[in-house]
Structure formats: structure tokens, C-alpha cells
Chain A
Amino acid sequence: MSNHADRLFHRPEGPAELLIRGAHVLDPRADLDEPHDVLIRDGQIAELGLPGSLTAPDGADTVDAEGKHLFPGFVDPHVHLRTPGQEHKEDIGTGTAAAAAGGFCAVIAMPNTDPVVDDAAVLRSLAETATREARVPTGFLAAVTRNLKGQELTEMAELRDAGALGFTDDGKPVVSAGVLRKALQYQRLCGGVIALHEEDPGLSGDGAMHEGAVSARLGIAGIPSLSESTMVARDAALAAYEGARVHFQHLSCVESVEALAHAKEAGAPVSAEVCPHHLTLTDDEVRTLDSRFKMNPPLRSETDRQALIAALRSGLIDCVATDHAPHARHEKEVPFEEAPMGTTGLETAFAVVFTELVLTGDLELDTLVARMTQGAALYDLPIPTIAPGHAANLCLVDLDERFEVGAEGYASRSENCCFHGRTLQGRVLLTLAAGTVAFKTRTLAEARALR
């Protein structure tokens, strides 16, 4: 498997010199689950030792982390950073600041910008912007089809040469099976995972929420689950036939989980992600007609939610992805049917799933950590690991601290978070990405524990 770390871009910062003392280190892949001192020198994990055994060298900072948890940094394979063209919603700087605040040490940005990332020049300019602005390493997917129209393929090989991690028309499906099949064939030349937003527009129509009892009550056109699941089944069959590597984005319903299970059992080279909001909320929230609960795919039923949880637990669904989708306040402050789809999610992802699924006993903590980092592997990126010799990609979390979402504002430029106002548990205190301090809480900063 090739290593795509050179397809991530970020602003170079001074490497961290830091001793994290006494944190409970949990890294399922390194088989670590106990308190350690972790010494970081020159941005690399230099040494792990028993609590109290390591001392900070001259010039290094110390964080007293007893009672806190240290995880490998999270990787989000699905964010919208809105650059270029929609910087009033988000830009690479604010979006990656939100990522860092959520414990993410790398993110993968979607190409449905304005202009669309369907041309190597746009991609090169984005990569260049990221080397000036990105707080955490950022990768880019390019479009599968020109201008996301689903008709002509982009110059996929050139886009790969320009640094594309993979391809997607996210926000839209590739409606034509014939066009998608050609992209899958072309993947044999250029590589790059093809990520799919699955939706049959003939079935979703002008739907704005899940089709169910709530949509019937509200008189809002529904998006039936099979709008997604029929396309998952179709494209899994195409992937198997062409031997192509396909990733299913933001699965939302039990029927899609079943189609995915069927494909994986048959040996198709497919993977899938699920979003924190689909794991923790249902269409019942839409009764409020609050446009924060409008996203695509929509919040679905409790049966769907339970199926997604079970699939994430078993690993059938490979990873958690936020689908962080910022929108300006004035764009969301309109009637539900008029509002754009999407919720922000980077700053709340870990705490939401920890509070709603780990604290309730539905998911083990080490499983959550594994699924929050697995997105890297799907795009041939190294999975962050807490082990000597590796770059420091990690996050320090206080699993006891409770906080109200949005009470202190957001690092994101937008505030359309579907968890706004909820009290969550599990606060990210510190994030190191590619060996540098990408985020620290105000408390840590004021305590001068970190410069």
C-alpha cells in the first residue's frame, strides 16, 4: 500500500517540545491502555515511560495530565472547508482550527466548492493555500465529474499528480452507472479511492427530511431510505465487478448497512463511514422545524440509528466522519424547506459519540478511538500512533469535563451545529498535529503550561 502522507498540506510551525505527564494513554493499535509519561521532542514522540519517570528537558513545556486521556489524533475523512468561493461559511484556516479543537490531526476536504475542484490548477492553488493556512494536515479529494454534473470525467490522472487523495462528487451522487463505471475503470490507471454520496435523485425528489411518520405529520417531502440504499447496492456491485476501491460516505439507514454487509461478505473492496449525528439523533428532532437538523442524508429513524451503531461497533462501518458542513447564520435562519443541508461537526464529534454511545454502554471507548482514526487508512494515510519514532499526532481529553456546545462560541466560522446547546461530556484539551501544537484550551494556555 502506498503512503499518501505527502498529499497532506499544512502550515509549518515550530515542532513541539513537550512532556505530557501521567495521562492515561489509550491507543488500541499500539495496545496501550494505561497511564504513561509521554515525551515529545522535535515534534516526534521520543519516549514513553511510567508515570513520573520522565523529566522535561531544558526548554520543553510540561502538561500535568493525570486523570486525563491521551489518544492518537483523530482523522476526519469528510469535511467541507468551503474554500474556494464560500469563505463566508468557512475557510481552510477556520475549518482546520475547528478540526484541531475537536482533536483531529488531519482532515480530508470535499471538492464541491466554487469553483469545483475538478481541475489541477484549482487543486494546486488549494494545496498552496493550505500550506499557508491549515492548522492540521489537510488532504483534498477532487471531483469525479466535471463541475459535479455527473457527465464527463475529470482529468483524474493529472489531479492525482497534483495531489488529490481520491475522488468524489460529494453533495451529489454519480447518477449514471455508466459514468461511474468508467471512473472505476480509470482508477486502475491513476489510483485514488472513489468516495460516493449515495442518493437516487428520482427517489429523493425535492425531499428535505427522512420519509417517515414525522415527514407525514409536517407535510415536508420525504427522502426515503431506499434513495440511498439502492445506490449503495448498485455501486457495490459495480465496484466488485471492476475490482475498484470504493468508499461509501455518510451511511444513514439500515438498508444501506445491509447492502454494505452483503458487498463486504462477497469480498468487494468497499469501505464506509458514518456521521456522529446519524449515530445519535433521529428524525424526531425535525419536529422542531429547526434548520440545524436539516442535513443530507437526513436524520432517520431509531431503527436506522441502532443499525448504524451496531455496524460501527462491529467494524462493518469502518470509521466515523463528521461531514462538517458549515453554513452562514442568515442562510440557515429561514424556513426548514428553504435552508441548505448540513451541520458542523468537527468540534463536537468525539464528545457527542462519547456522551451518547460510550457513556451509555453502547460502544467501547477503545472502539470509538479506533473508528475516529481509521479514516486515515482508507485513504492510504498513516494511522496516528502513540509510539516512539512517530510524529506527534495526538489529543488530550478530559473525559469527565462537561460543557455546553456553543456556549463559548465555535472555532468554525459557522454555528449551524445540530448539537448546539446540548451538554456533552469529554472535552478536548490539547491537540498535536504533525508534531506541532494545533490546539490548546484557554485553561491550558492561561496556566502557561504551554507556550
Chain B
Amino acid sequence: MTRIGPHLLSIDDLDRAAIERILDRAESFDEVSGREIKKVPALRGRTVVNLFYESSTRTSSSFELAAKRLSADVVSIRSQGSAVDKGESLKDTVQTLSAYDPAAIVIRSPHAGAAGLVARWTPAAVINAGDGKHEHPTQALLDVFTLRRRLGSLDGANIWIVGDVLHSRVARSNILAFTRMGANVTLCGPPTLIPRHIEALGCQATATLERLPEADVVYVLRMQQERMRDSFVPSLREYATRYQITPARLQPGQLLMHPGPVNRGVELSGEAIDSPQALIGAQVRAGVAVRMAVLYELLVGSATPSLAAVA
């Protein structure tokens, strides 16, 4: 059987079979989320630490909910107001938290490779909840989960990732995950925001939306306001003119995704966000089930053959 773990630092830690196993597991947990009592005892008595060095709403809340629905004890630490704020090094913080014997540490950091370092310093399973512009593997898993539900399979699907690829960890994890699941990935954005040599990851890149009608899925990235300051784009207005996804630019049947939070009126028009083609709400809902599945696979894994036995 495909091995998952001991950590989830990168999509590269998972082959296609492992991704499918996590998504299958997430389907069962999604059923739990539909119950009135949304809880299973799978991680009862275990501790999950969420360590967030960057502000985050949906990732931190969905990890917290995921751990709680598995009955784990959860400690959430944010950089503001903690020892981290007082200049404690990442290593010292992790070693201190490890003294509580957590089963898992979920880490979000502004720096590439932070989750990998944490994994060296703790016996706990480490889950990368975003490290710099490097990776955000659970986002990619929930995106694949959402798409698999809609399309059945990603094999042969044409997925366009539109926007600021240069600064996007979501883009990197999604390029890896989508291609691993059989999709063809095209990146589209201003040439200043498409990293040179990114094609080495097995995707194509283009500067215009001309061929957008070929896409089955349009995955739009967040365009951060401060990108103007560093001259990546001359103005958000010019960016929106060239790259904003509007209902007029979408073909019927194309699916629209976004990792959130959306800059309404910049990368997406309000009408596009609210259109029935948008899967943005489904992505958020998938977050909890997929993160439950990741925690479960890393901490319990194949030791328990079926969910029924623990549910």
C-alpha cells in the first residue's frame, strides 16, 4: 500500500495513489461534516498544535475544526502576542512545543522550507500549511478533491492557473498536484509574475487570455495590492483590464476556482464570484474534510482499515 507520511511537507511527498487515498478518506469525513454531531473519536487523547507565523483565516480555522472533529486536543498559536513575537527562534519554539508531546504540528510560515526544518526538530508529524512562496499542499489536495467531485477525474482536463504565479505557493502545489492527477496545466499572467523556467514543472505558460476558452477549469490566484509597488504590474487597473476573470471571459461549462481571499474587482469580477460556475464555496467546505483526512492518514493511517471502526 502507498505510504503516507510521516510528514506532509510537499505534494512531492505524495504519489497519485496516495493523493487518491487521502481524497477517498476525505469523502467519508465529509459525510461526518453533514451530521448533526460532527465528531468522531479517531484522535481522542492526542494533541494537535497549530503554529501560524502568518495571518490566516480559512487555513487555520479549517485545521482547527478538522482536528476538533477528530476529537483531538488543539492548541493554536499565532505569532502575534506569543513567544515568537518576543524573538524566540523557530527552533526553540518548536522544541518547547514538542515538550507537550503533540501528535502533529501544523505550521504556516512566511519562509520556504520552514515546515521541513520543523520536521527535523520534533518527533511529531508535521503538516505544511504554507511555507513562503514554496508550497501549500493541503490547499492543493482540497482543490483536487473539489474538482474530482465535479469532473469525476482530472485526467486530460485543461486547467488554467491565472495571475501572480511568481509569489504563489498555491500555484506551485497545484501545478504538482493537478499534473500528478493527469491534468494539463497552463499558467497565464503578466510575464513579470510568471517565474522563468517554471515550465520545468511540467506545465505551459502564456501571457494572454486568448486561449482561455480551451480551459475546462479556470483557477484564479489572488493579486496582492503591494505588487504594484515593486513594479510587477503598473497598476491594478491595467492588471484587471488584461487578466480579470469576468462572466464575459468565461465559457459556459468552465469551472471557476480561487483559493481565497478574493480581491473583488481585481482578479475576479463580483459577477464571476457569484456565478454558478464558481466553486469557491465548495473549496472552503472541502477544506475541513480534506484536512481531517490528512491528519487521520498521518496519525492513524492504515492501522485502522475502515472509518466505520472508529466512527
By a beta-carbon cutoff of 8 Å, the part of chain A in contact with chain B is: 211-213, 215-220, 222, 289, 330, 333-338
Contacts and interface: CB of A to CB of B under 8 A. Distances in A.
Nearest to B200: A213
A355 B89 CA distance: 37
Given A215-B195, A217-B172, A334 B112 contact: no
Q: Max chain B CB contacts within 10 Å: which of A211, A216, A222, A334? A: A216
Given A222-B196, A334-B89, A216 B201 contact: yes
A337 B117 CA distance: 12
Contact of A338 (B111, B168, B198): B111
Given A220-B133, A289-B116, A335 B109 contact: yes
Contact of B169 (A215, A219, A289, A334): A219
A216 B90 contact: no
Interface in B107-145: 109, 111-114, 116-117, 131-135
Contacts of A337: 111-113, 132
Given A213-B200, A335-B117, A218 B112 contact: yes
B35 interface: no
A64 B204 CA distance: 64
Interface of B: 89-91, 109, 111-114, 116-117, 131-135, 167-169, 172, 195-198, 200-201
Contacts of B200: 213, 216-217
Contact of A216 (B89, B91, B109, B198): B198
A222 B169 CA distance: 15
Given A212-B197, A222-B196, A336 B111 contact: yes
B197 A219 contact: no
A159 to B, nearest CB: 38
Given A334-B90, A335-B111, 13 more contacts: A212-B197, A215-B197, A216-B197, A216-B198, A217-B172, A218-B112, A219-B132, A289-B113, A330-B91, A334-B89, A334-B117, A335-B114, A338-B111
A285 to B, nearest CB: 13
A222 B172 CA distance: 16
A98 B90 CA distance: 30
B115 to A, nearest CB: 9
A156 B89 CA distance: 41
A218 B10 CA distance: 10
Given A216-B201, A220-B134, A336 B113 contact: yes
6 contacts: A211-B197, A216-B201, A218-B112, A289-B112, A289-B113, A289-B116
Closest 10 pairs between A and B when the two form their complex, measured CB to CB: A219-B133, A289-B113, A335-B111, A213-B200, A216-B195, A213-B197, A219-B134, A216-B198, A216-B197, A335-B114
Contacts of B111: 334-338
A212 B168 CA distance: 17
Contacts of B133: 219-220
A205 to B, nearest CB: 8
A219 B135 CA distance: 8
Q: Max chain B CB contacts within 10 Å: which of A215, A220, A289, A335? A: A335
A220 B133 CA distance: 7
Q: Max chain B CB contacts within 10 Å: which of A222, A330, A338? A: A338
B112 A219 contact: yes
Nearest to A336: B113
A219 B198 CA distance: 10
A140 to B, nearest CB: 33
Contacts of B113: 218, 289, 335-337
Contacts of B169: 219
Contacts of A334: 89-91, 111, 117
A290 B98 CA distance: 22
B112 A335 contact: yes
A451 B114 CA distance: 49
B89 A218 contact: no
A218 B196 contact: no
A220 B198 CA distance: 12
Contacts of A218: 112-113, 134
A220 B196 contact: no
A220 B90 contact: no
A217 B179 CA distance: 14
Given A219-B134, A219-B169, A330 B89 contact: yes
Contacts of B135: 219
A222 B166 CA distance: 11
Q: Max chain B CB contacts within 10 Å: which of A211, A219, A334, A337? A: A219
A286 to B, nearest CB: 10
A334 B118 CA distance: 10
A443 to B, nearest CB: 34
Contacts of A222: 195-196
Contacts of B196: 211-212, 216, 222
B251 to A, nearest CB: 30
B197 A335 contact: no
A330 B117 CA distance: 13
Contacts of B167: 219
A82 to B, nearest CB: 21
A219 B172 contact: yes
B91 A335 contact: no
Contacts of B112: 218-220, 289, 335-337
Nearest to A333: B91
Contacts of B197: 211-213, 215-216
A215 B89 CA distance: 25
Contacts of B131: 335
Q: Max chain A CB contacts within 10 Å: which of B91, B134, B169? A: B134
Contacts of A333: 89, 91, 117
A330 to B, nearest CB: 7
A212 B200 CA distance: 9
A220 B167 CA distance: 9
Q: Max chain B CB contacts within 10 Å: which of A211, A215, A336? A: A336
